[in-house]
A and B are shown apart, each in its own frame.
Chain A
Amino acid sequence: MTSLDILFGAVGLITAASAVLAVTTQHLVHAALWLVVALGTLAGCYLILGAELVALVQLLVYVGAVVVLVLFALMLTRAPMGRSPEHSSSAVQRIAAAVIAAGTTALLAAVLLPALGGEVLTARTGDTTAIATQLFGAWVWPFELLSVLLLMALIAALAVSRMPTTSPTSPVPAETEST
């Protein structure tokens, strides 16, 4: 057991703990902030495994953009200071969520652990050129597919926000009313 293993275990433990806190806390904004900790320490895990680029992109995209967007949405609607029990889910939902989470964990463990054969693999070739070669070589089609998916989501979001409203309260011009 090297010091890197211990470090990885510690950081992984913080990731898991903060992820659990993010879904169990009763404070809405605290949930978003625990998510920051979880995503940030996940970047730490990547860093310890030698995937420097992945770690930095994780930090830039998730902490820098996604969580800021989440916090902005919270502030724009309602960002209560104290606990907000009216948002907490029922016991049935909690149990179902826990069962599904445990099932996913078991599934992933059952697939990944035998696949790696108990061998510890570290991506020591985590430098940018190696990752770029892999990404635009072997993995170029999944990569492009994901970008098309994101583009579709973007266009769809634009379409939804630009869609003419049909609710009676909104002022509708006379021409469109007849159609």
Chain B
Amino acid sequence: MNPVLEVVLRSVSVLAVFLVLPLVVGQTEHKVMAHMQGRLGPMYAGGFHGWAQLVADAAKFIQKEDITPRAADRWVFKLAPAVALVPYLVALAVIPISPTLVGADVDAGVLFVLAASAVGILGLLMGGWASANKYALLGGMRAAAQLLSYELPLVLSVASVALAAGTLSLSGIVDAWHPLWLLWQFPGAMVFFVAAVAELQRGPFDMPIADSEIVMGPFTEYTGLRFAFFLLSEYAGIVVMSLLFTVLFLGGWHGAFSDSLGPVWTLAKSAVISVVIIWMRVSWPRLREDQLQRLAWLVLVPVALVQLAMTAVWVVLSSR
């Protein structure tokens, strides 16, 4: 195939996935949360169980006025939603759905995804600071403190998997995966899962946007499309993190009939992870700031270090 055409085709399909999957997760959240709380959720838009609710929301967001507060730092304020959203699109491009179905197979794919999502958190800080609003600043600060703490266990648990597989390539990790890893890497998987949810600032780790205390945190001053971009980046983050969890810890496309059903397995496993992430938000109350930091430094980091040591010892012993 013509290389230019191939690049264009791959980019367009990644963009299409990026535009569809977060909406699916968003709609799932609406319905799952509603049913867990014994209510119906949006039921009218689109007919069947309100499937078009998010499309209607998007239409509403587009019509709203795009307001920049007078005291805000104009450029930083306007740029922040893009900085929050684009890294997840870039990250999504390198995550393999099946051995052949991948936007771009990067040699150090794991690092690529981590680096991209690390850039994304800057968007929140920029938005929080540039709004010239005390609530937004408080939210931005909480976000910064939380993301700094949870970055470490996240990277450590990923390092353990990469060590076990002997490669940083995402498809290489899935190829090296064995069902026994579910036991061997279990502590690391738990650490990764908790840290990933904290990185996404989803409940119970939604201290930065705690709506009952600081309005909407860094998003307080945002309206219309820019606000929608922040929401979209949250759902895109869920998609990226659950795909990454599937690929790293659940063996991606491994499963029955994986030759023909590989992509289905990957997507099904990450769909389950996404629902669990939504479930966590409904189930647990918000953690306080000191509880957040305590969990990260006194539980997750030690567990991740022990897991890393365990993996290293086993890899050295088995390679003898």
Find chain B residues with CB under 8 A from A64 CB.
114-115, 118-119, 121, 151
Cross-chain contact B71 with A65 (CB below 8 angstroms)? no
Cross-chain contact A65 with B118 (CB below 8 angstroms)? yes
Cross-chain contact B121 with A52 (CB below 8 angstroms)? no
Nearest B residue (CB) for A40: B119
Find chain B residues with CB under 8 A from A27 CB.
73
B148 interface residue, CB < 8 Å from A?
Answer: yes
Q: What separation, in Å, do the CA atoms of A53 and B109 have in the docked complex?
A: 10
Nearest B residue (CB) for A131: B108
Find chain B residues with CB under 8 A from A29 CB.
73, 76, 129
The interface centre, meaning the residue of A27, A64, A65, A128 with most chain B CB atoms within 10 A of its CB, is: A64
B122 interface residue, CB < 8 Å from A?
Answer: yes
Which of B19-27, B41-49, B138-146, B190-198 contacts its partner? B138-146
Q: What separation, in Å, do the CA atoms of A88 and B144 have in the docked complex?
A: 26
Interface residues of A in 72-95 (CB under 8 A from B): 72, 74-76, 79, 81
Which of A55-63, A100-108, A134-142 contacts its partner? A55-63
B147 interface residue, CB < 8 Å from A?
Answer: yes
Cross-chain contact B168 with A128 (CB below 8 angstroms)? yes
Q: How far is the CB of A141 from chain B (nearest CB, A)?
A: 21
Q: Decide: A63 near B148, CB < 8 A? Known: A75-B141, A81-B73.
A: no
Q: What separation, in Å, do the CA atoms of A127 and B168 have in the docked complex?
A: 10
**Contact check: which of A33, A36, A75 meets B140 at CB < 8 Å?**
A75
B111 interface residue, CB < 8 Å from A?
Answer: yes
Cross-chain contact B144 with A60 (CB below 8 angstroms)? no
Q: Decide: A36 near B122, CB < 8 A? Known: A72-B144, A75-B141.
A: yes
Chain A-chain B contacts (Cβ-Cβ < 8 Å), number: 83
Q: Mark B62-93, 1 if CB is under 8 A from A, else 0.
A: 00000000011100100000000000000000
The interface centre, meaning the residue of A57, A65, A69, A71 with most chain B CB atoms within 10 A of its CB, is: A71
Q: How far is the CB of B202 from chain A (nearest CB, A)?
A: 19
B137 interface residue, CB < 8 Å from A?
Answer: yes
A23 interface residue, CB < 8 Å from B?
Answer: no
B106 interface residue, CB < 8 Å from A?
Answer: yes
B279 interface residue, CB < 8 Å from A?
Answer: no
A14 interface residue, CB < 8 Å from B?
Answer: no
A49 interface residue, CB < 8 Å from B?
Answer: no
Q: How far is the CB of B253 from chain A (nearest CB, A)?
A: 23
A68 interface residue, CB < 8 Å from B?
Answer: yes
Q: What separation, in Å, do the CA atoms of A57 and B115 have in the docked complex?
A: 7
Cross-chain contact A68 with B140 (CB below 8 angstroms)? no
Nearest B residue (CB) for A132: B168
Interface residues of A in 93-147 (CB under 8 A from B): 127-128
Nearest A residue (CB) for B109: A56
Cross-chain contact A127 with B71 (CB below 8 angstroms)? no
B241 interface residue, CB < 8 Å from A?
Answer: no
On chain A, the number of residues with a Cβ less than 8 Å from chain B's Cβ atoms is: 27
A16 interface residue, CB < 8 Å from B?
Answer: no
Q: What separation, in Å, do the CA atoms of A57 and B159 have in the docked complex?
A: 13
Find chain A residues with CB under 8 A from B108 CB.
52-53, 56, 128
Interface residues of A in 133-172 (CB under 8 A from B): none
Q: Decide: A33 near B76, CB < 8 A? Known: A63-B119, A79-B137.
A: yes
Find chain A residues with CB under 8 A from B151 CB.
64-65
Interface residues of B in 127-142 (CB under 8 A from A): 128-129, 132, 137, 140-141
B126 interface residue, CB < 8 Å from A?
Answer: yes
Cross-chain contact A52 with B115 (CB below 8 angstroms)? no
Cross-chain contact B118 with A75 (CB below 8 angstroms)? no
Nearest A residue (CB) for B110: A56
Cross-chain contact A63 with B118 (CB below 8 angstroms)? yes
Nearest B residue (CB) for A73: B144
B213 interface residue, CB < 8 Å from A?
Answer: no
A21 interface residue, CB < 8 Å from B?
Answer: no
Cross-chain contact B122 with A72 (CB below 8 angstroms)? no
Q: Decide: A59 near B115, CB < 8 A? Known: A67-B122, A75-B129, A81-B71.
A: yes
Q: Decide: A52 near B106, CB < 8 A? Known: A59-B119, A65-B118, A72-B145.
A: yes
Nearest B residue (CB) for A63: B119
What are 22 of the A-B contact pairs (CB < 8 Å)? A29-B73, A30-B76, A33-B126, A52-B106, A52-B107, A53-B111, A53-B168, A56-B115, A60-B155, A63-B115, A63-B118, A63-B119, A64-B119, A68-B147, A71-B129, A71-B144, A75-B125, A75-B137, A75-B141, A79-B137, A81-B72, A127-B107
